[in-house]
Every structure is written in C-alpha cells, then in structure tokens.
Amino acid sequence: MRTFVAKIGLVELSITSIDSLIAVIPHLLGFVPTKSVVCLWTLDKRISLTMRVDLPVMETNFDANAWAEQLLSCGIHSGGTNIHVVIYADVNSSDFAQAIGRAASHSGLHVDTLITMCDAKRFEYECTECHSSKCIGHEVMPEASDLRKMGALLPVPAASREEVIAEIDEILNPHVRALVVTESAAYTALRASNADAHNLEKWRDESIALVRRDWGHVSSLDDPLRTLTPQLARSIVALNDVRCRDAVLWVIARPDTDLQQIGEYLAHVVINAPESMVPGPASVLSAVRWLQGDGLRAMAACLKALNAAPDYTLALLVETALRAGLPPVFWLETMRVLTYDQCRARRRVRPGRSEDSDTSMSA
Ligand SMILES: [Zn+2]
C-alpha cells in the first residue's frame, strides 16, 4: 500500500499498511463504523477528503454502478487522485467493491485500497495474497507501533454512530426553559417597538459579546455551563436572531479560533434549547463541525435544525454542502471576504417602518 499521512486534530500519523488504515478509520470518523462505506481520497499522500455513507440495501432494481459513480463524484472537489475504500458489511459480497472499482477507473482515480470488512476479517478485491479467484479473508493485524500511537495520542472513538448523534439529544432543564421564556419575551418586545431600535441593537451587541465570552469559559472553569444559566438562556435566544448569529459566524471563520471549544459550547446551547429555538444554534454548530472536518456531527446538527424548522436556510446550505462533499474551505473563503459589519448588519429602522418586516427570526 502507498504510505499516506492521516492528520487527526493536531496529530499526524503515517499510515503504512491496510491494517493500520483499518485501525485509524474509527479515529478519523470519531466512531466505529458498521454497514458503511468509508472512502478516503488522497492527494500527494495526504487525505484530502474522508467520507462515510450508509451501505445501501441491494434491492432488485438497485443500480450499483450508478450508486458508485455518484459516491465517487463527491470527491471531485477534494482534488484527490488516489482512493482508499473500506466497505463494512455483515455479508461479504464483492458487488459493491466491483462497482466502486469500475467507477474509479471511469473517473481516473487510482485505487490504493479496496476491501470489505466482514466478521472482523478483511476481504480484498482482486487479492494478491489469495491464489483462488476470490479472497478468503485475512486477520486484521495493524502495526503495533501504529496502535500504540493511536492509543496514546488520539481520543477514543465512540462505539457507534448512534452514540455520536445522541450527544445533542435534548435535555429538559426547567430552570433554563423558564429563563428562555423571559429572555424571549424581552427580545420580542424590543423587536416590536420601533422606538427601541437602538436598544435592540444594543441587546444584540451584548448578546454577541456574551456568546463569545462564554465559549471561552467552556474549558477554563470547573463547571461553568451549569452555573451560567441566565447567560445560556440569552445565548439560546440570541443565536436564533439572524444578525447575532451571522456576527457569531463571522467570528468563527477567523483563523486561530478554537473550533473544538466553540463546538462544545454550542452543543450545550443546542441540548438546552426548546425545540422552536434549536435551528439557530444547531445550524451554527453544524457549520463549526463541518469546519472541523467532522461530517457526522455536522450532519447530525443540521438534521436537528431542519427537524425543528425544515426551511431554515443556513441548515439547508450546510446540508447541501455536506451532501456534495464540499470542503470547508468553500465556506471560509466566502466568510473571510466579508467584514464584521456586513455580517452584523445593524438595522436602521426608517420612520413609519416596523422591525417586523425584518426576517431576523426565520432565516
Ligand atoms: Zn485474500
């Protein structure tokens, strides 16, 4: 196998064998995959895109070739020239591998790895170790030194995809809920009153400052998220105000932001929000996870937002980008040409016009 470098967080690992590749995949995804196809595109021996999709069900009319073509088209944006594919299946069948091999040659991709994992064994497509035409399966034995490095340097992956998705399940905290109602009423009153345009902008500036301050507290205090409930309620309401939300997005797209810390903070906001106030923070969370290269958490946050508000534009935007396999640099390039004031978009209410014409709560 051609050696390549897998970068996970700040750790760089040199992957030198198929078995080490299999061992690193749960760390790349953040969970142990089952019934999945995992594709890694590489360019100049570095991963340019990691993608996991559910293994489709082979029904009578299922067109495996069309499926494989579509799957590999997701990697075009990444510029990857080589591909490693690991299929996780309950039954060892070469149908998927065959279709992927064919699609890769159509698109000029060099296939470095094409295997099916089944019953903890790897079955290679066009195996060179087996003399029969069909691979009989091989024990997976990663390099001991690679395993040591992964164990010492990388966080333990979650046991399953479901476990990761459940990380942002709602928790009902009546105290936070009561504070959200109060905060929301204050916000609605500010918006309804034309005379209060100045105070509304002040509320927004304060809220943005509060969100920025609180995400910095996530890891610096013992248990700050439990003790800052009034601020948490304010953040929940503020992140559903488009002007606050977009200003926060601008800050997130700056270089050197601690995305992991911001992600943890936003996840806490999302799980405490009543359903009607999930879309704002969940969409911002999905953007953060996408920037981190964590597709599963990005999609989970996206779907949570869309479940609460199917037309929520920001969530739809991130969802489309994720499904198309667009790298986060597309987002960063767009955000970085904007100024803070363009994202913050302070409103100057004209006489006779009410703030109600604003779309701040629905975009
Ligand atoms: Zn074999």
The model's pLDDT over 323-332, given as tens digits with 9 standing for 90+, comes to: 887 878 888 8
State residue 324's pLDDT score.
81
- 143 plus 170 within the same structural domain: no
Q: Are 173 and 136 part of one and the same domain?
A: no
Q: Does residue 363 lie in a domain region? A: no
**How many Å apart are CA 208 and CA 214, to the nearest integer?**
10
- 280 backbone dihedrals φ, ψ, rounded to 5°: -60, -65
CA of 127 relative to ligand 1 center, distance in Å: 5
Calpha distance 158→30 (Å, rounded): 6
Closest CA to 86 of 65, 112, 63: 112
The pLDDT, as a whole number, for residue 132 is: 77
Residue 293 clears pLDDT 70, i.e. is over it: yes
Ligand 1 centre to CA of 120 (Å) is 14
The band of 251, judged by pLDDT with boundaries at 50, 70 and 90, is very high
Using pLDDT thresholds of 50, 70 and 90, give the confidence band for residue 218.
low
Given this model, what pLDDT does residue 355 score? 45
Residue 49 Cα to ligand 1 middle (Å) = 27
Q: Is residue 362 part of a domain?
A: no
Asked whether the beta carbons of 168 and 282 are under 8 A apart, the reply is yes
Tell me the pLDDT of the chain averaged across its residues: 88
- In which domain, by residue range, is 70 found? 4-159
CA 51–ligand 1 middle distance (angstroms) = 25
Centroid of ligand 1 to alpha carbon of 144 (angstroms): 22
Do both 61 and 180 map to the same domain? no
> What's the 128 CA to ligand 1 centre distance in angstroms?
7
- Give the residue from 133, 159, 185 where a domain finishes: 159
| Separation of CA 37 and ligand 1 centre (Å) | 19
Those residues with Cβ within 8 angstroms of residue 188's Cβ, 6 or more apart along the chain or in another chain: none
Under 8 Å between Cβ of 234 and 228: no
Kindly state the tokens that stand for 282.
């969940």
Does any domain span residue 320? yes
CATH (domain of 63): 3.40.140
Does the pLDDT value for residue 123 go beyond 80? yes
Instruction: Read off the pLDDT of each residue in 248-254 and give the average, rounded to a whole number.
Output: 94
List, in sequence order, every residue forming a beta bridge with 36; answer none if it has no partner: 54, 88
Highest mean predicted confidence (pLDDT) among 54-58, 159-163, 276-280: 276-280
Q: Is the separation of the CB atoms in 282 and 246 below 8 Å?
A: no
User: How many Cα atoms occupy the beta-carbon half-sphere of 117 within 13 Å?
Assistant: 22
Q: What is the DSSP letter of 156?
A: P
Domain count, the chain: 2
Which helix (H) or strand (E) covers residue 86, if one does? strand 82-88
**Does 286 reside within a domain?**
yes
- From the list 2, 32, 29, the residue with the least C-alpha distance to 15 is 2
Please tell me the least confidently modeled range out of 100-104, 174-178, 352-356.
352-356
